Amino acid sequence: MTNVSLVWNSLTQRQDIKVTMNWTWMLRMFIVLSTCFFFISVNGMMLFVLRSKPSFRETPRYILFTHMLLNDAIQLLTSMLLYTLALLYLCLVRAVCAVIVLLSSTTFYNAPLNLAVMALERYIAICFPLRHSEMATPQRTGVAITVVWFLGSVNHLIDIFVALITEPSFLLTPVYCTREQIFMFKWQADAYQGFTAFYFVSVGLILVFTYVAIMLEARSVSSDKASVTKARNTVLLHTIQLCLCLTSFLYGVIEALLARMDASVFIHLRYMNFIVLLILPRCLSPLIYGLRDESLKPVFKYYLNCGSKKVKPGRNI
């Protein structure tokens, strides 16, 4: 059992740290719930916009962005649910906990993997423009999203499979729902860290390769400084997105370090760690990408203003 699990279990056994309806507790709940619901609503509006025009529904770039929005909405919902359960000290049967953690863990890994696929799609569009329509089709984009979900879930599915094979009753015991509660053996925790490092390095290498190639291509085929500047800004944008996404990988490491502190201090710092590293990156990444897009932004502003005539919705709305 990890240091975090030990601290968490010790906290639940202390009578003086039982949940009470004080203003601090309610303020924390309000901040988490309101932030999550607000950005889930924004994501939902963006999803509606992306479904409103055939050009969005049939373009691989926007299909991947739609998947990003849906994935982040699920991540926010599951994170909010797990946080609420932890704050209320509610137990769940391990089987139910495993399903929630499966969704949370899978969407957690899907975010950088989806970003890598988006980078590869832009790489093909710029470096192989004549073959882009052949290579990046909606059908192949759907296959790529399926592969992303498989890679994102395989580690957790292995943990559930191990429990079903070795000791099925393990999944029937009530626990405080955390990722560590699904581990039966130490090698599973090591495998979890290994998968995390592998995804971190792989996505980083893919992004470095694709965007260096895009920058070189932009400089070689055009003498227009505006094109080079736009390519440079695109590199910067996706670098920011990658940094926001990969900060979430630091959550477990920082939490393990915080677990060595006093229990009462751990509770407060764990909350800040949760907000800054898990919630905010999921909220900001879609906005950074979506509101910069020249085709998506006017349509989004049109629906955000409830169809106001003062806002031009763009063509074919």
Angle (nearest 5°) at CA 98 between 96 and 100: 75
CB 152 within 8 A of CB 106: yes
Distance CA 79, CA 63 (A): 24
* Residue 234 pLDDT grade (very low, low, confident, very high; cuts 50, 70, 90): low
Q: Which of 41-45, 102-106, 216-220 has the highest mean pLDDT?
A: 102-106
Interior angle at CA 260, CA 254 and CA 263, nearest 5: 105
148 pLDDT band (50/70/90 cuts)? very high
Per-residue pLDDT, 44? 84
> What is each CA distance from 265 to 179, 256, 262, 271, 316, in whole angstroms?
22, 13, 5, 10, 55
Strand partners of residue 176: 91
pLDDT at 218 over 80: no
Mean pLDDT of 260-268: 62
- Looking at residue 229, its pLDDT comes to 62
Q: Which residue has the higher pLDDT, 96 or 272?
A: 96
Torsion of CA 246, 119, 232, 129, to 10 degrees: 180
The rounded percent of the chain whose pLDDT value lies above 90 is 7
Residue with the bigger pLDDT between 187 and 15: it is 187
Q: Is the pLDDT of residue 280 over 60?
A: yes
Q: Is 152 in contact with 248 (CB distance < 8 Å)?
A: no
Average pLDDT over residues 47-63: 84
Interior angle at CA 118, CA 106 and CA 292, nearest 5: 110
Share above pLDDT 70 across residues of the chain, in percent, rounded to a whole number: 71
Of 317 and 258, the one with more pLDDT: 258
- pLDDT above 90: residue 28: no
pLDDT tens profile 76-104? 888 888 888 877 778 888 888 889 988 98
Q: How confident is the model at residue 147 (pLDDT cuts 50, 70, 90)?
A: very high
Residue 58: closest CA among 127, 155, 171, 139: 139
User: What pLDDT shows up at residue 63?
Assistant: 92
* pLDDT bracket for residue 126 (50, 70, 90): confident
Q: HEC string of the chain?
A: CCHHHHHHHHHHCCHHHCCCCCHHHHHHHHHHHHHHHHHHHHHHHHHHHHCCCHHHHHCHHHHHHHHHHHHHHHHHHHHHHHHHHHHCCCEEEHHHHHHHHHHHHHHHHHHHHHHHHHHHHHHHHHHCCCCHHHHCCHHHHHHHHHHHHHHHHHHHHHHHHHHHHHCHHHHHCEEECCHHHHCCCHHHHHHHHHHHHHHHHHHHHHHHHHHHHHHHHHHHHCCCHHHHHHHHHHHHHHHHHHHHHHHHHHHHHHHHHHCCCCHHHHHHHHHHHHHHHHHHHHHHHHHHHHCCCCCHHHHHHHHHCCCCCCCCCCCCC
Average per-residue pLDDT in the chain?
A: 76
| Mutual angle of helices 60-87 and 94-127, in 10-degree steps | 150
* Among candidate residues 275, 272, 296, the one with its CA nearest the CA of residue 284: 275
Rounded Cα gap, residues 307 and 314, in angstroms: 12
- What's the average model confidence in pLDDT over 138-167? 90
For residue range 29-44, what is the model confidence (pLDDT) as tens digits?
Answer: 788 788 888 888 888 8
**Whether the Cβ atoms of residue 175 and residue 90 lie closer than 8 Å to each other:** no
Q: Which residue ranges form the domains of the chain, and what is each CATH number?
A: 3-15+23-304 (1.20.1070.10)
Cβ burial, residue 87 (10 Å; 0-12/13-18/19+): middle
The first and second tokens of residue 313, run together, are 């919705």
